[in-house]
Structures are given as structure tokens and as C-alpha cells.
Amino acid sequence: MMKIIRPALVSLVVFTVLTGIIYPLTVTGIAQLIFPAQANGSLIVKGGKPIGSELIGQPFDDPKYFWGRLSATSPFPYNAASSSGSNLAQTNPALLEQAKARIEALRKADPQAPASVPADLTTASGSGLDPHISPAAAEYQVRRVAENRGIDEAKVRALVAAYTEPRQLWILGEPTVNVLNLNLALDDLKKE
Amino acid sequence: MTTNGIIQIALYIVVLLVLVKPLGGYMAMVYEGKAFWPNRVLAPVERLIYRLLGIRPDDEMTWKTYAVAVLAFKFAFFFLLYLILRLQGILPLNPQKFAGVPPDLAFNTAVSFLTNTNWQSYGGESTMSYLTQMMGLSVQNFVSAAQGMAVLVALIRGFTRRSASTIGNFWADLTRTTLYILLPLSLILAVVLVSQGVVQNFSHFKNVPLLQKITYDSPKVDADGKAVTGADGKPVTEHAKASVQTLPLGPAASQVAIKQLGTNGGGFFNVNSAHPFENPTPLSNFLEMLSILLIPAALCYTFGKMVGDRRQGWALLAVMLVIFIPLLLFCYSFEQAGNPLLTEAGVNQTASDLQPGGNMEGKELRFGIANSALWATATTAASNGSVNAMHDSFSPLGGLVPMVLIQLGEIIFGGVGSGLYGMLAFAMVAVFVSGLMVGRTPEYLGKKIEAFEMKMVAIVILVPAACVLLGTAVASVTNAGVAGISNPGPHGFSQILYAFSSAGNNNGSAFAGLSANTPFYNTLLGVCMLFGRFWVMVPIIAIAGSLASKKYVTPSVGTLPTHTPLFVFFLAGIIIIVGALTFLPGLALGPIAEHLTLYK
């Protein structure tokens, strides 16, 4: 029996040390040495202070900013301390209500907005923290943002184009616009 | 379906297949004890581990000893993990000061990780300390994966040995798997993932200001912390302000790497690989998806090489692809089709160069539809269970695909090791059925398949299915079970069916709207996970022992060849018939009924 019990107990210690201490510490060491910015949360730093993460979206409902995806985190949207999707089924009436409320808010902020709204702008992301919208969703909001800021539409559109990322390595994923980066750039534009 | 989407899926399958031979060949060398280069560097470590464990790697075990070693090892780790979870409040590396985990959740989580299920009743960033994640959960990811692979190798030895009484040494198989296969692959993947933005540190969570301060409606609570309801019975809300965002951090990359490679699937954060810190870019997504199927696919080649006939391995891989690819395309097409109710409301769900379109609820924009459908199919074909999109918000038939793949028994790729040994059990059923047709004693790889093997195979197939169906039945008729449902109509039943499918077959993904963090679900699902793992694993070890003791039968003209396209389709047919007979009634009540209400 000891032939089984000893290795079973010792293996607890051995494998915990090997895969639970040595391995993660090695990865941390390499990561902090080669990719410190990424390993620490891809922070956007302004004036020496972190003002957000490139990878984590923030909530916007002011008409002069671009708005992101809906977010199902609680108690407030884009609460990064508690990531969550809505988990609403396609047949759940709450899903339809959520989309209708978003469309109404978009219309209220810009009565002239087109009738047909891009899907990503009316749905909640999986994480509740999606930092991106589609180029179509950005274009949908260009008129509103330009008007509310009193700047030329073409200027805003050019900024959107500058912040549109193509597919990674030409093939992977989808074209994206980073909402927080775009809005930060808009605020900088005003100061010039 | 878009052209780009099809290209991404094709690229994925091609890259996967290209890697099968090199990795599969390497793993065969590891298990056959041949010399290879990491061996030169790590052999001293291997010898040190054997010395500490007090074992000799060539000390062969009978199947009974092997099974006892497997169970003793798991039992010991269960207690360690349970203790870590309960005591994390007073242990170090807990910068957010999370309290100890309550008993029912600790039981569920410990069982979930030791059975390679990684069902998550908890949210990582709001429950688990860094120490728990690293020394509790990550360690389980390694050892439960290594254990599955060890048992597979024992079964393969059952086929290759003749008139033998032993099937290898569990401790040696476990050590070699961890040291030469899982650790090097995880190390490489973890570092590449960090380069894409997966966090890896031991810092406090970081507060950052919101660019736009927002007000939101927060449910009003009274002095006891209970929600206040108004005269109309609805909760009363009050305005609240948010001006700060708290970014969760921690040693994520090291854990994400092994949870993908070891078909574990337990995320560092609540939303798993949908979280931008766990899966930040399309490239990280591609690599994480590749890691899901990498080892299970390559093990087919390892198997072929070790039994001395590579065609046998390729044939099993072909069976997996024959089932995987059509289901994948089925899922993708329904997700890209979007939601008819939203179209009526004025939502544009048509894919173009400027937007992914389709059913974007619960999906991340950077991945779009194709990658979300591909992930969902891969993670449930393998018993991984990590997600990059919320399966609960999939279309009824799009969400049926992950459920069906789990219910087929996690053998289409399946868990590392456990998938292939499950597939081999089905292969024995296939030769048995064909043997009955012509009245011959069935043989597989030169071994006669007789009553003992078939009894064990029956247990392997019936126990998980019974867990799924009985568990679903109990939850569907009890108040505690029904209380967890979050979506109305047939989808609510789907949520329960998915949960028990996932637990009984050790997948770990969920229709996550189900409130499963209750004593009822934590306990019942925990029991299902235990049955689903060990009532499969132990009979498989028994088969290994029985096969090893048999003589080799030279193939004759009457032997059914098991590497031909005929056998591939025959085996695929057996798998689908067994799965359909067991689960079609349940599926008809859930996703199929929901689809019919949506498109009436």
C-alpha cells in the first residue's frame, strides 16, 4: 500500500512546485522582461498616469463621443472588475427590448441617423468589455459626433479611418475601431 | 457565411493537420522512452522526480495497480485543492482580499478541475486569489491532462503487448507527459500570448479613470442589503455615478496556455477567452483555438505509430473530421444568419467588408462570427469548454451544435487522452457490431474483442449518458433546479440539458445564464463530473489490462480492415446513431422546439 500512498502524497508537492510555482514564475519573468507593457495590461498612459487600457472598453453615452457595444456587466456597464455577457437567448423578449432601447437612444441623439443600425451596435458583447466596434458602427455615428462637436464631418471620418485596424495578418479576425482610443483622439483634436 | 470566414476556418484546419505528424511523432518518442533532445536537458529532472516519489519507472503495474494509483493520486489532489479554496482568505498572494470559497462551491470547483472538466460556477476575477489560480487551479490543469494522456498510453500498451500482465507505470507516464509535453508547449504558448496582451503579473487590480463619467440606475437596497421593491412589485432603482474602472490583473497567461492545451478550459476571468485580457487579438484567438485541438489530434498519430500501423491513427482522425466539419459549417451558417426578431426591429445583420453582421449578441467584435462558431465547435468537440463567445446567446440551432458534440461523449477529438480512449471504445463497438453481422468474433488491431471488453465499453458509453439524462430530469422537475433558469420557453430547458451534458462528459462550457452557483447545482453537477470521469477511466484501464493479456491474432481474409474509408464512415455512423438514439428526444424539447418558435 505504501507503494501507492508515498508517490501519491509526494507527487502533490512535486507537481505543485513544478507546475504551480516554477512554471508561472518563469513565464512571469520572461513576460516582464520582454513584454512588460502587454504583461501589465496594455495601459494607455497620459502625463505619467494610466488613463485606461487599450484592451478594455469604457462606457460612453454622451452624443459627442463614439459609443461602443452594449455591456451586460453589473452594476454599471463596462465594469471591468466583473466581466459578463448578457446570456440572453435569441427568443428572450429582453434581447429585443435591449436592442430597441439602443436604437431609440441612437435616434434620440441623432434624429437623422440611418434607419438600419449595424448589428454590433445593438448587441451586448461576450465579455461586456469589448473595446471595439465595427467600421460600419463608427460610420453610423460620424455625423452625430461631428455635429455635437461642431467640427467638420470629413475630419471626424478621417480620424475614424486612421483608427480603423484591418484584419490581423490580412486574414484573421475582423476589421475593428478601438472606441476609447478614437474618443481620446477626438478630445485631443479639439484642443488643437 | 463569408469568403473570409471560410478562409479562416480552412486555414485553421490546415495548420492543425500539418502539426499532427511532428507533434504526434514526438509524443510517441516520449512514451516509447526513446532519446530526443529535451530528454538530454530534462532527464536529470525526470530522475530527480522519480527519486522523490520513491519509484522506478520500469516498475510495471497491473491494470488494477494502475487504476489504484490513478485514483489515489486524484484523491490526494482533491483534498489539497479543496483546502486551498477554503483557506485562500488566510493564504498569501491574495491582493484583492478574497474570502475563502464556501463549501459547496469549493467541492464543485475541486471536482471540476480534478476531472478535467473546469466547469466554472464562480467568476475568476471576483472569487479566486492569485495563489488559488496558480497553485490550485493551474496545477490541476497540468495533472488532470497528464493523467488522461497516461491512461490513453496504458490502453495503447494493451493493444501492443502480447500475453502480458502489466500496462506500464502510472507515475512514469504522468511525469513524462508533464515534463516533456505539457510544460514546454505551455511555456512557449504563454509567452506568445503575453506578446499579444494577455496579462501576466502579480500586481493589485488597477484603478483607471473613465474618460466619460457615467450615471446609471442601481437597484436600491435597504439596511439589510435586500433589494427594495416598489408598489408595482418591480425593484426600485436610484441614480449612481461611476467615474473609475477597476482593471483585473494577475498571472493569467501561464494559466490560459495550459487550460487551452490540456483541454481543461477553466478561465482566469469570468467570461473566459471572451475577456480581452485573456484573449486580446485575433492572433491570440487563433493560437488558443489551435491549442484546443492540437494534442487530441496529434495523439491519433501517436497511437498509429505506437501500434505499428499509422493508417489506424489517420483513420480515427478522419472519423473525427467527418463529424467535426459538417457540424462546424452548420453552426457557422446559423450564427451568420442572425436573429429574425432583430431584423424586424431595424438591425442590419448582413455581413460586409465593414461589419461582421450576424448574431453578435454575446460575441466579441475582434473575433466576429466565423471565429466564434469555430471556437464553440472546437471547444465542445474537444472536452475543453473554454469559450470566446457566450453559447447561451447562440441561435437555437447554432447552440445545438456544441451541445450535440458534448453529448456524443467527448470523443470527436475529445479531451487530451480521454478523447482518444473514448473513440477507441467506440471503435470496439464498431468492430463488434460488424462482427455480429457476419457471425465472427470481432478483432481490433489483432486483439479479440470479447464479452469483458464489451461490458466495459457499455459502462463507458452508458454512465455519462445516464448522468446527463437523469440529472436533467431531476433538475427539470425540482424547484431548486428550475429556479436556476434565466431564459423563458424551450431555451430554459436547453440551459439545464447543456449543464448536465457538460458535467457528465467533462466539458465545462455552459449556457451560462443558468444560475448554477447554488448548493443544488454545485452538488449534483459535481457528482455527475466525478461519475463521468472515473466510471469511464477505470473501465478503460480494465480493458487495457484485459487486452494486454491476450494473444495476437494474425489478420485473415475474414478480418475487417479498420483503416479503410468504409470503416471510417461505419464508425462515424455508429457514433451518430448511439448519440442520436440517446439524446434526440431531449434536443427536440430544447433547441429544436426553440428554433421552431423563432421561425414560425
Which residues in chain B have Cβ-Cβ distances shorter than 8 Å to A50? 206, 208
Q: Give the whole-angstrom CA distance, residue B320 versus residue B11.
A: 18
DSSP B30-54: HHHT---HHHHHHHHHHHHHHHHHT
Cβ atoms of B250 and B127 within 8 Å: the answer is no
For chain A, which residues score pLDDT lower than 70?
1, 190-192
Q: Give the whole-angstrom CA distance, residue B553 versus residue A86.
A: 58
Which residues in chain A have Cβ-Cβ distances shorter than 8 Å to B125? 81-83
Of B183, B201, B362, nearest to A39 by CB-CB distance is B201
Residue B558 has pLDDT above 60, yes or no: yes
Q: How confident is the model over B188-205, as a mean pLDDT?
A: 97
pLDDT in tens, B431-444: 999 998 888 889 99
Q: Does B354 touch chain A (CB under 8 A)?
A: yes
Q: Does B130 touch chain A (CB under 8 A)?
A: no
Cβ atoms of A94 and B341 within 8 Å: the answer is no
**Which residues contact residue B208 at a Cβ distance below 8 angstroms, ignoring those fewer than 6 apart?**
A43, A50, A51, A52, A53, B244, B245, B247
Q: Does B437 touch chain A (CB under 8 A)?
A: no
At B397 the pLDDT is 97
Q: Do B200 and A133 touch (CB under 8 A)?
A: no
**Which residues contact residue B556 at a Cβ distance below 8 angstroms, ignoring those fewer than 6 apart?**
none
Residue B392 pLDDT class (50, 70, 90 cuts): very high
Alpha helices in B337-450 (DSSP H): 340-344, 368-381, 396-407, 418-438
Residue in A with minimal Cα distance to B594:
A91
Domain ranges for chain A, please list them.
Answer: 2-38, 42-191
- Which residue, among B570, B336, B311, has the nearest Cα to B437 in the 3D structure? B570
Which residues in chain A have Cβ-Cβ distances shorter than 8 Å to B242? 59, 76, 79
Q: How confident is the model over B330-349, as a mean pLDDT?
A: 96
| B392 to chain A, closest Cα gap in Å | 5
Question: Identity (one letter) of the amino acid at B34?
Answer: K
Disruptive mutation site among B347, B515, B592 for chain A (greatest number of A CBs within 10 Å): B347
Percent of chain B with pLDDT over 70: 99
| B592 to chain A, closest Cα gap in Å | 12
| A152 to chain B, closest Cα gap in Å | 22
Residue B552 has pLDDT above 60, yes or no: yes
**Which residues contact residue A49 at a Cβ distance below 8 angstroms, ignoring those fewer than 6 apart?**
none
Of A56, A127, A174, nearest to B247 by CB-CB distance is A56
Residue B40 pLDDT class (50, 70, 90 cuts): confident
At B455 the pLDDT is 97
Domain ranges for chain B, please list them.
Answer: 21-203+250-292, 206-247
Of A91, A120, A131, nearest to B491 by CB-CB distance is A91
Helix A23-34 and helix B183-196, axial crossing angle in degrees, nearest 10: 30
At B225 the pLDDT is 65
| Contacts of B89-93 spanning 24+ positions with Cβ under 8 A | B91/B129, B91/B131, B91/B132, B92/B131, B93/B129, B93/B130, B93/B131, B93/B134, B93/B202
- Which residue, among B384, B370, B192, B270, has the nearest Cα to A129 in the 3D structure? B270
Q: Give the whole-angstrom CA distance, residue B237 versus residue B228.
A: 8
pLDDT in tens, B278-324: 999 999 999 999 999 999 999 999 999 999 999 999 999 999 999 99
**Which residues contact residue B147 at a Cβ distance below 8 angstroms, ignoring those fewer than 6 apart?**
B70, B73, B74, B116, B174, B417
Q: How confident is the model over B400-409, as a mean pLDDT?
A: 96
Q: Do B597 and A40 touch (CB under 8 A)?
A: no
Q: Give the whole-angstrom CA distance, residue B322 versus residue B91.
A: 49
Percent of chain B with pLDDT over 90: 89
Q: Do A126 and B364 touch (CB under 8 A)?
A: yes
Q: Which SS3 state, helix, strand or coil, does residue B83 take?
A: helix
